[in-house]
Chains A and B, each alone.
Chain A
Amino acid sequence: MVDPSIVAASALHGLATGAVYALVALGLSLVYGVLHIVNFAHGSLLMLALYGVYFLHERLGLDPYLALPVLLPVAGLAGYALHRWVIAPAGGARDENVLLVTLGLALVLENLALVAFRSDTRTIETAYSFSMVALGPALLPLPKLVALLGSLVATLVLWAIVQKTDLGRAIRAVAREREAARLVGIDTRHAFALAFAIGTASSAVAACLLLPSYYVSPQVGHGFVLIAFTIVVLGGMGSFWGAFWGGLLIGVVESLGGLFLGESLGQIGIFAIFIAVLLFRPTGLLGRPL
């Protein structure tokens, strides 16, 4: 019944959405891998970054993509400061406390945003918002294509940082064995905060790529954090490429689900896969066996 070119277009579309999901999930996964906590404030930080992009565009006329060089260091520093001087001291030594602190932080940030920005849904209009790119038989909106490519580049950069730099090695060492890392001279508090900073910065990248084709409201983070959490579990907790492939898969499943089952039932596919993975492969698609 449905034309294959339409299925292809929908899948491509889902791939673009999925790439951004993956980027958000990678930030969450990195923080989980190192700190062993689910950062509930991740969605709220994404929301703040989206507002950052929005106001840079509305007040200063800065293109959302050009906002990246401004927002990236700000988000990184904010993430660092947030972990070093708020989350870590408030959480103490126990992981459960840190978990609760991030949950509290999410509530505070979201309600502050409600007070400051009201509950309005805001969007921006750029010259290219409705430009289309023909990829074979399918038409993809330009912002979606940029989001797809941008997320892929950001993912590679993130992978390179974690795998190839001293910083990445320090973070991985801390993730693997906290005490031993400290004994060989790694400043663990610094490494934790850096991991959090990178996680926050990846949300800022996602925000810049998202806003031209999306909206911002104080509650916008909810949808993302739920999906990102699903992706992290699906891919295998803490697995880098697991989160990446999980993100793409979820994006495509959501899009095709929307096409065949209708917009309101589109997300059923995501959670059906999620439950199936939990049943048959509890460590996730690319997770290490327990």
Chain B
Amino acid sequence: MTTGDRSVREGWRRRALLATAASGAGLLAAPAVLRAQPAAVKIGLLHPVTGFLAFSGQQCREGALLAIESINATGGIRALGGAKLEPVLGDAQSKPEIGAAEVEKMNESGVAAIVGAYSSAISLATTQSAARYGIPHIVDVGVSDQIVGRGLTNTFRFCPGYGVITEIAIANLVALNEAAGKPARSVMIVHEESLFGTGTAQLLQKELPTRGFEVLEVVKHANPTRDFTNIVLKMKSLDPDLVIPANYYNEYVLLARTMRQQGVRPKGIYSVLGGAASSFKFVAEFPDDAAYIMDCNHWYDPRKPAALELRRKVEAKGLYYTYEVFLAHEAVRLLADALERAGSANRERIVEALATSDWDGHFLPYGPTRFVNGQNQGARPLNTQVLGRNIEVIFPREFATAQPVFPMPRA
């Protein structure tokens, strides 16, 4: 809400400034001014900034706006004569159908491309609506593999989908467990009811038994859920070695806090795309509940200075540096790179440029981009663990900043 107001205000201020400058300079040399100020390229930023996903949606929007700000500050899109990027903000209100309606509005306002829409369910709807108008759509977070599996040529996902993430998460879990002398054999999965949680849980439920784990229980819960007592009581009676949560931020935090409250302490909490497990917000607000939680999630390459630079910038604004922020930030930069390659704000040209993109200027652990059916092939998650009030990378080795602590200490 506030970000929207601010960017609208800034938009006005900028326009007023441009108008004054243009009219003043126009008296002297109108054609030169026209050449010096190429038309701004409108970029739709579509996120659920209200509703139950509000926190994550706002984080995405912040990240995307920061990227636009820094691109504009460093000369805009050079291939377009230094054209600035102009954000067109949309709010999906945490509902897919509203997201789809926002695409219609963005189309009418003439956006060159859309970056969004955080959740899988919303992204599924927005990419489809955007496809009708041929609007290139970069999915910043939505992890469901259906998003890129439908043959929509306008849809590009920079980050990994849950298929790849779950596969890597299971491989790393097996490695972690073996290295610790196989303390974990039984698993309980707690997931949220929408596409992301259900899909992830199904993959885990299928794969884990083939890797020597017994899945004791799979529990689904609604969004929002304000009470995890029953689920945690069930956990207490089943006594699993590992608890695997797959849910969004609020529910994840509440689940972890209820577990501690009820004295449930498994050998490990290992989440796949845990909504809060690798969030600095969770670690700062509830350090005791977050301690030792492991996660396989989107993460930045901790060796890249640009990633740490952005972290400083985000924290200086009083915000948390969560995966939503850096993924949306890099998604916008991917789009900017495509605009440079296309040398045009034409939707078709941008789609072509994205499809053949081999961009390596980003700070994610992916390598150069290569899109096949809209999915970036090198995209992968990293494994993190909350250690000493910080989030450390524990897997794979080349990115690791700390050794894993597993099983987690009892006290």
Residue of B nearest to A140 (CB): B229
Q: B231 touches which one: A130, A139, A214, A263 (CB < 8 A)?
A: A263
Contact present for B224 and A215 (CB under 8 Å): yes
| A264-B50 CB under 8 A given contacts A3-B237, A130-B257, A141-B261 | no
Contact present for A13 and B237 (CB under 8 Å): no
| A120-B50 CB under 8 A given contacts A130-B257, A139-B263, A215-B224 | yes
Q: Which residues of B contact A9 (CB under 8 A)?
A: 229, 233
Cα of A188 to Cα of B58 in the assembled complex, Å: 53
Contact present for A263 and B225 (CB under 8 Å): yes
| A262-B226 CB under 8 A given contacts A9-B233, A10-B233, A132-B261 | no
Q: Would you give the 0/1 interface string for B222-261, flagging 1 where the beta carbon is closer than 8 Å to chain A?
A: 1011110111011011000000000000100000010001
Which chain A residues in 86-131 approach chain B with CB under 8 Å?
118-121, 123, 130
Contact present for B233 and A262 (CB under 8 Å): no
Q: Which residues of A contact B127 (CB under 8 A)?
A: none
Say whether A39 faces chain B, with CB atoms less than 8 Å apart.
no
Q: A119 touches which one: B51, B226, B229, B237 (CB < 8 A)?
A: B51
Cα of A280 to Cα of B193 in the assembled complex, Å: 35
A-B contact count (CB 8 A): 70
Contact present for A215 and B262 (CB under 8 Å): no
Query: By the criterion of a CB under 8 Å from any partner CB, how many residues of chain A are at the interface?
Result: 27
Say whether A56 faces chain B, with CB atoms less than 8 Å apart.
no
Residue of B nearest to A123 (CB): B226
Say whether A230 faces chain B, with CB atoms less than 8 Å apart.
no
- Most B Cβ at <10 Å: residue of A1, A120, A123, A217: A120
Say whether A60 faces chain B, with CB atoms less than 8 Å apart.
no
- Chain B's interface size range is 20 to 34
Say whether A167 faces chain B, with CB atoms less than 8 Å apart.
no
Contact present for B219 and A119 (CB under 8 Å): no
- Say what secondary structure dominates the interface of chain A: loop
Q: B222 touches which one: A3, A120, A217, A263 (CB < 8 A)?
A: A263
Q: Would you give the 0/1 interface string for A207-223, flagging 1 where the beta carbon is closer than 8 Å to chain B?
A: 00000011101000000
Cα of A171 to Cα of B131 in the assembled complex, Å: 63
| A118-B1 CB under 8 A given contacts A139-B262, A215-B226, A264-B222 | yes
Which chain A residues in 202-253 approach chain B with CB under 8 Å?
213-215, 217
Residue of A nearest to B230 (CB): A258
Say whether A6 faces chain B, with CB atoms less than 8 Å apart.
yes
| A118-B225 CB under 8 A given contacts A2-B237, A139-B261, A262-B220 | no
Say whether B320 faces chain A, with CB atoms less than 8 Å apart.
no
Nearest CB of A to B3, in Å? 14
Residue of A nearest to B289 (CB): A130
Say whether A161 faces chain B, with CB atoms less than 8 Å apart.
no
Q: Which residues of A contact B40 (CB under 8 A)?
A: none
Say whether B52 faces chain A, with CB atoms less than 8 Å apart.
yes
| CB-CB nearest 7 A-B residue pairs | A258-B230, A118-B50, A6-B233, A121-B224, A6-B237, A263-B221, A119-B51
Given A13-B233, A119-B50, A217-B224, 20 additional A-B pairs, CB 8 A: A2-B234, A3-B236, A6-B236, A10-B229, A10-B233, A13-B230, A118-B50, A118-B93, A119-B93, A119-B94, A120-B51, A121-B51, A130-B261, A139-B261, A139-B262, A214-B226, A255-B230, A259-B230, A263-B225, A263-B231
A-B contact pairs, 15 of them (CB 8 A): A6-B234, A6-B237, A9-B233, A13-B233, A118-B51, A118-B93, A120-B50, A120-B51, A120-B52, A121-B51, A121-B250, A139-B263, A213-B226, A215-B226, A264-B193
